Amino acid sequence: MQTVLHISKSAIQKIVEQLHDILDFSKCYALDTIREILAKHNIVTDNNQVVQDITDALFQTNPLFVTTSAQGKFATDYRRNVYFKEQFELIEPIEYLYDRTQKNAYVYVSTAKQLECLLGHRLFLDKVVFNQESLPGQYKSFQDGRYYKENKLLGEKESNIALGLYIDDFEVCNPLGTSRKIHKITAVYWVILNLSSKCRSSLNLINLAVLGKTDDVRLFGYEKFLDPLVKDIKTLEQVGIFVPALQQYVKGTVFCVCADNLGAHGLAGFQESFIVDNFCRFCLISHKQLARTEPGDFKLRSPEQHNSLLKELQNDDQLRSLNGVKKECALSKHLSYFHPITGFPADVLHDFFEGIVPLELSLCLKDLISKRFISFEEINSRIKSFPYKNADCVNKPQKIPKSSFAKGTIGGNGHENWTLLRLLPLMIGSSIPENDPAWEILMDLKDIVELVVSTKFSDETLCYLESKIAEHRKLLAETFPNFSIRPKHHFVDHYPHLIRCFGPLVDLWTMRFEAKHSFFKKVVHGTHNFKNVLLSLATKHQQIFAYFLDGHSLFKPQLYVEKLKVVETGLLDTTLRAAVTKKVSSTENMVLPEFYRIVSIIVVDNSVSFISDKLSSWYLEHYRCFELVENIHPEIDILDPESLNDLSPLLYNVLPHNLKRNNPLNKVMSRRSLFNMFVTKVVR
């Protein structure tokens, strides 16, 4: 309760004490019950002490009564913690001082011990993929990227661990309150990238490395803050960790650091400002070239060139920065297989959903309103009245404030902006004339976003992404000649190249890492105590990690079924029986999506399949949607989840006003949306 439900120590103590009082109070009822049972079986005793002894002995067999008693293991917070340490694999955080002459401290949780603990569990080890088969021109994981293959340690065909770090600052107090910035914390998390992206997205598998006050990190620097972490990783590079199940030492290193642009520049040693001349950590473009340089026409940075700049800075004390570089990266300074040029991928969340998307939504919606295609009030009305489903109910966009057009951005968080852009065609598309330039800018942006958040790429799709980015930039400049290109627009120009180097960038974005902050915020909210807050937060985190590890609940179950009806194949009708017996096979060399309505879900030997009715479809360019129509002669197919383009079903059954036809079965589905009756399968 204390770690999972964030109940305070004092509340837990009261619960324990009162629970014991209730059990103790029930003794008198137990005493009377025992007397009645003895009398019922003609066992007569005049000695009340005998009955009392039986009652006491009975209660001593109750583990809850014994552990909550005055001398029990759960009687006090101290005893509960001692019991937890004895029974669970608890890796306790260690407090370090930046300087022995000062009290400023940070806490570190041994990465080596956590790795040893995780890899020692067979269930976890079975999920780790050391050497994945890589097809030329295909990018479905970081192991397909050029930087992984060129890494002298990770690129070897051996059992090596690739770590992904994450660094960020977050507020544990109300960011608008009087305590803001006072308790701001810098956190470093890490994940094992050898796990599948689905496993890595679990918050239980995002591990804590370091916690420190942000002011202290800025004062003493990243090198001191990361010192124990770097030492552990250095040992991992040189010696490795012995894994009993493999009967060998497993080495590893940091493959990349995920962070927002400011955090990445700070740790990598680049200037932490985007108004300086050389603002890009990927290339040497200047602000003067930003507006007139075509995507791809810039000189990329290289490790050799970066090392040369560092030498020039070291040799000239007068130089504070050179070509955007101001100091050596705290990680690459000590690690043998990590470099800042090849170790800091772009972040989709901050570049798109908290950067370009709200910016261009404000720009284009303002233009559409000025042309009187739709009013400001009507946009907000449709945003509010739209029938959001499932996850979109949580991430539904808020009303756009009137001040957003003056500010140049609609604001909002990344989840809400993604939902708004994805569903905007279904909200207001019927009010916008076809081929309007501002609308086409938004639809091109939607296409680019859908490509960028894909989990699989080929050389052909990356070439298509490059062309879409170039077209979008050209149309943006032609439609809004006075609009200034932002640095994040330029970062997006690098995405095709970065995907070739890192694999799908959506697997390395910061969205799931940022969700990890919520645990620490809940802990502070539950304890209402800021005394030695870093150690308290780290201890709570390690307790819940040990709890989930012991309960084998780090991973979600592959199959969860609430209600199940067992049927025999022979009882099915002829068409359905034929479909179940012979599953659908995909056609080769095609890239058209197929749409199906789920008729029923079947489970055979813990494997799920969908009995589905195939639908006809037409693509509507203006809406970036498909119109679906039922076939006259139903086609029943059986689909496996692996054959689906997206495991999330299509949600929305929306028919814009100017698409109404006589056929009542017509449906319009967003290409990236989800529906509880429909699924889409890409035929390859």
Q: What is the pLDDT of residues 373-407, one digit of tens each?
A: 999 999 999 999 999 988 888 899 999 998 999 99
For the purposes of burial, counting CB atoms within 10 Å of the CB of 183, is it exposed (0-12), middle (13-18) or buried (19 or more)?
middle
Show the tokens assigned to 681: 């399968």
Low pLDDT (below 50) residues in the chain: 584-590, 657-684
User: Are residues 8 and 77 in contact, defined by beta-carbon separation less than 8 angstroms?
Assistant: no
CB-CB neighbours of 269 under 10 Å: 25
- 470 vs 294: CA distance, rounded Å: 8
Condensed to tens digits (0 to 9), the pLDDT of residues 333-343 reads 999 999 999 99
Amino acid at 673: S
Show the tokens assigned to 122: 């067979």
Query: Which H/E stretch holds residue 514?
Result: helix 511-527
Q: What is the DSSP letter of 396?
A: P
Amino acid at 240: G
For the chain, give the number of residues.
Answer: 684
Strands ordered across the beta sheet of 207-213: 94-97, 105-108, 207-213, 184-192, 160-171, 248-258, 241-243
Half-sphere exposure for 307 (CA within 13 Å, toward CB): 8
User: Are residues 230 and 241 in contact, defined by beta-carbon separation less than 8 angstroms?
Assistant: no
For the purposes of burial, counting CB atoms within 10 Å of the CB of 253, is it exposed (0-12), middle (13-18) or buried (19 or more)?
buried
> Strand pairing of 160-171 and 248-258?
parallel
Query: Which H/E stretch holds residue 445?
Result: helix 437-452
Return the residue matching tokens 């000695």.
47
- 51 vs 58: CA distance, rounded Å: 11
DSSP letter string, 569-597: GGGS-HHHHHHHHS---PPSS---EEEEE
Among 532, 571, 592, 471, residue whose Cα is nearest residue 105: 532
What is the maximum alpha-carbon separation in the chain?
104
Q: Cα–Cα distances in Å, from 157 out to 124, 194, 238? A: 21, 13, 17
CB-CB neighbours of 385 under 10 Å: 9
- 446 vs 436: CA distance, rounded Å: 15
User: Are residues 610 and 647 in contact, defined by beta-carbon separation less than 8 angstroms?
Assistant: no
- 435 vs 531: CA distance, rounded Å: 60
pTM, 2 dp: 0.86
Show the tokens assigned to 134: 């890589």
- 679 vs 340: CA distance, rounded Å: 41
For the purposes of burial, counting CB atoms within 10 Å of the CB of 274, is it exposed (0-12), middle (13-18) or buried (19 or more)?
middle
For the purposes of burial, counting CB atoms within 10 Å of the CB of 412, is it exposed (0-12), middle (13-18) or buried (19 or more)?
buried
Per-residue b/e over 417-435, b at no fewer than 16 CB within 10 Å? Answer: bbbbbbbbbbbbbbbbeee
Query: Which H/E stretch holds residue 165?
Result: strand 160-171
Bridge partners for 616 per DSSP = 629
Cα Rg of the chain (Å, integer)? 30
Query: Which H/E stretch holds residue 163?
Result: strand 160-171
- 679 vs 475: CA distance, rounded Å: 33
Show the tokens assigned to 608: 């799920």
- 204 vs 426: CA distance, rounded Å: 36
Q: Is the dihedral of CA 191, 194, 200, 203 positive or negative?
A: negative
Among 517, 555, 477, residue whose Cα is nearest residue 293: 477
Give the mean pLDDT of the chain: 86
> Strand pairing of 207-213 and 94-97?
unpaired
% of residues, the chain, pLDDT over 70: 87
- 514 vs 212: CA distance, rounded Å: 16
DSSP letter string, 528-558: ---TTHHHHHHHHHHHHHHHHHHTT-SS--S
Query: Residues near 451 by Cβ (< 8 Å), separated by ≥ 6?
Result: 461, 464, 465, 468
User: Are residues 159 and 128 in contact, defined by beta-carbon separation less than 8 angstroms?
Assistant: no
